[in-house]
Amino acid sequence: MLSLADSIRISSPLTETRISTQLFGSRTRRGITIVRSSRRQARVSKCKCSATEQPQPQPQPQRRKQRAGKYKKEKSEEEEKGIDPVGFLSKYEINHKAFAQFLRERYKSLKDLKDEILTRHFSLKEMSTGYELLGMHRNMQHRVDYLEWAPGARYCALIGDFNGWSTTDNCAREGHFGHDDYGYWFIILEDKLRQGEEPDKLYFQQYNYVDDYDKGDTGITVEEIFKKANDDYWEPGEDRFIKSRYEVAAKLYEEMFGPNGPQTEEELEEMPDAATRYKALKEQQKNDPASNLPSYDVIDNGKEYDIFNVIGDPESFKKFRMKQPPIPYWLETKKGRKGWVQKYMPALPHGSQYRVYFNTPNGPLERVPAWATFVIPDADGKQAVAVHWEPTPEYAYKWKHKQPVKPKSLRIYECHIGISGQEPKISSFNDFISKVLPHVKEAGYNAIQIIGVVEHKDYFTVGYRVTNFYAVSSRYGTPDDFKRLIDEAHGLGLLVFLEIVHSYAAADEMVGLSLFDGTNDCYFHTGKRGHHKFWGTRMFKYGDLDVLHFLLSNLNWWVEEYHVDGFHFHSLSSMLYTHNGFASFTGDMDEYCNQYVDKDALLYLILANEVLHTLHPNVITIAEDATLYPGLCDQTSQGGLGFDYFANLSASEMWLALLENTPDHEWCMSKIVSTLVGNRQNTDKMLLYAENHNQSISGGCSFAEILIGNSMGKSSISQESLLRGCSLHKMIRLITCTIGGHAYLNFMGNEFGHPKRVEFPMSSNNFSFSLANRSWDLLENDVHYQLFSFDKDMMDLDKNGRILSRGLANIHHVNDTTMVISYLRGPNLFVFNFHPVNSYERYTIGVEEAGEYQITLNTDEKKYGGRGLFGHDQNVQRTISRRADGMRICLEVPLPSRSAQVYKLTRILRA
């Protein structure tokens, strides 16, 4: 009969446990295989080995192989579960072999890139936290450390008002441990001792600067702390062996040979073997008390090949393990900031201005550090400088509010800090906090999206030509002011998104990254590929690990340092294609996998989304891509890029073209619907807007200016034109907000029909601020307040009725002749009549549920500037049992021209 072990070896399939590579955490662990037996199979085998009259037959080898093969196949499928480089293609029924092959090659390149990253960095988390080391940082050992990446430089120095702008006082040279093999320069600025003070007795004396910055100022000297540590740590008499290193050897010699033992090798007699000496020692100690005996014993089994086994005393081992190193006493030697202030003067005081100086093969250069967190841009002919921002802990900003919960639908209020005020000047963060944030909260939005807040040299560029990626624009205030803005927004329940520009950078050399270390390929491509064809900006070299380190850390920096809730990635088409997106796209899949596609840029976007969503699960990323690259919002494990939302840019372009070029009666309802819903792929991830900043900032006009002009609300405009403009203004926003996905966006001021375009001060307008502001006083005008009231109620409709968070709209009625559009979204029925003249007393619309439908929002109400044609008895409509629009039930509703109504099912009628 087989033994239990033999039975288990025969019956139990081998199971393999693979430890996958951990990208976000500690060091990556190599895959190992653990062979273990299945408990269930062991129990079965045990039953087989019991005494029975008729033993059970053993499994056939072929059957065991089949089971093992099937098991291994299931395990391999489980290991690769959810990983399909072309997964989203089958999801959308896309059959394109070239694009599928491109995705597979891209996935392999992504794995190779991650492996390459992990040869340089501890993990992807470390890869995206470069701001913890690079730039200027306070060190606890009374000094300031500066680290900068400039592989093309031969000499690096910090210059500023702290050293009289000297290029030799604080420097690092090539060949003198100035930089590592990757071109990272390291400079230490030692804090200065005050007059009459002595250096610290401990070389590595540390000081608390931020957390518990007064902890340690107890007045106890270092000698007293060390004496206390010795008294608490060592057993009585135990520390004497530390004082003399020969004492142990001398004591052992005396025990072996006595006090008058041999002093030379000739006097030393032949020593007995170890076993004889051990037996003699045990005989000598047989009558000693247990406390005097050693805490170990040696066991000899008497075999020649046996090794002596040393058996220790469990109590002694337990006592030894309970001993803790005297780290608490070392921590007690730390001093607080007060002690540091009394003893040292900062090498780089808060508010100091500085730059970095390089000596390159092309000559000396002065640059603003790439990782600077506060920069004063070039003004009045003066060179831009970085500002060391290190307020004392008692004055540093302290966060008060938690970040709001991630909502199921987004109602985004897009804004620009500089033009948010009414006065003709650049508004500040504090102005925005006091005047704009309360308005956004009242208007019913749940998120704000800020553009142009990252430092840029020229104000007229709106902030898109970024020069300093880690710095908040000093035009609007300090870094602490921006933290307060975000904190106050969170206190009002508003998310804060940042429009991030990683698709290109400013070409300015004295303040930006261009030619940073004297070479043309430090951060950017060389040649034509390194320059945008039409915008005069520089294009990043996304395939370089150090550039990835810079950009990924930049995303993480804004989340960690400023608690932003998400990012709107600007103009992805300019980075995804070597032609910068300026090419005709027909929708052919070949256009997304040809030689003009920048695979490195795609890999960066995938890494950016993976890093952000892994480190910060609640972060929201929005893609702005005019070409709608396939898989924008699909999971990266399924071949997508991993964004949460994508902006439908064609919707606003369609509305602008209709308003400017097409008469009202020629509007095509089918075209409107198809443009707003797109191709139904990822429609639930779509961000829609009627107009954002592009219509007013990029040399165009706002819709209000097109519809009713600057005479809006004045007596010079006819009542008919005013009624038309207000009606279309409301209808365009209502259908754009409710027909698409889970997100809607509006630019600051457009909710109340701001009639002026935006024009930043520049030489062409004599640097005038007359159009670089928002006229908030227009809300006192009846027409503008009526438009604002409608927009507010539209936001409340989603807030209370959860319109955007529901599934996709069921568009069941689109009639180009009557110019009527109708769709269902949950229990809500939306009906639009875009006809400029025709009104319908009883228009038939199909519905899914029989019952009573009540109007919850009507664009034609007088409080919204409408005609008020609906009577009180028409607010509730009952269904009729008649087929319409492919449904068995319908409603007959009144539809005034240029109006829209939202009905809600309030009572269900059963047959």
What amino acid positions are annotated as catalytic residues?
624
DSSP 245-259: TTHHHHHHHHHHH-T
Residues sharing a CB contact under 8 Å with residue 391, sequence separation 6 or more, in sequence order: 350, 480
The candidate with the shortest Cα–Cα distance to 822, out of 878, 743, 887, 741, is 887
3-state secondary structure at position 320: helix
3-state secondary structure at position 526: coil
Distance CA(149)–CA(188), nearest Å, equals 15
Distance CA(848)–CA(804), nearest Å, equals 19
Beta strands (DSSP E) in 88-230 are 135-139, 143-149, 155-160, 171-173, 184-190, 192-193
Q: Supply 670's token pair.
A: 């089918």
Q: What pairing do the DSSP bridges indicate for beta strands 353-360 and 363-367? A: antiparallel
Distance CA(181)–CA(119), nearest Å, equals 14
Torsion over CA: 180, 183, 184, 187 (sign) = positive
CA distances (Å), origin 863, targets 581, 784, 854: 45, 11, 18
CA distances (Å), origin 33, targets 73, 127, 637: 16, 29, 25
Are 415 and 450 a contacting pair, CB within 8 Å? yes
DSSP 273-284: PHHHHHHHHHHH
User: Torsion angle, CA of 193/198/203/209, rounded to 10 degrees?
Assistant: -50
Residues sharing a CB contact under 8 Å with residue 71, sequence separation 6 or more, in sequence order: 13, 15
For residue 122, the tally of other CB atoms under 10 A from its CB is 13
Name the β-bridge partners of 851. Answer: 908
Q: What amino acid is encoded at 13 in this protein?
A: P
Name the β-bridge partners of 903. Answer: 829, 855
Are 640 and 586 a contacting pair, CB within 8 Å? no
Distance CA(683)–CA(687), nearest Å, equals 9
- For residue 77, what is the enclosing H or E element? helix 61-79
Q: Supply 271's token pair.
A: 């020593």
Distance CA(896)–CA(832), nearest Å, equals 9
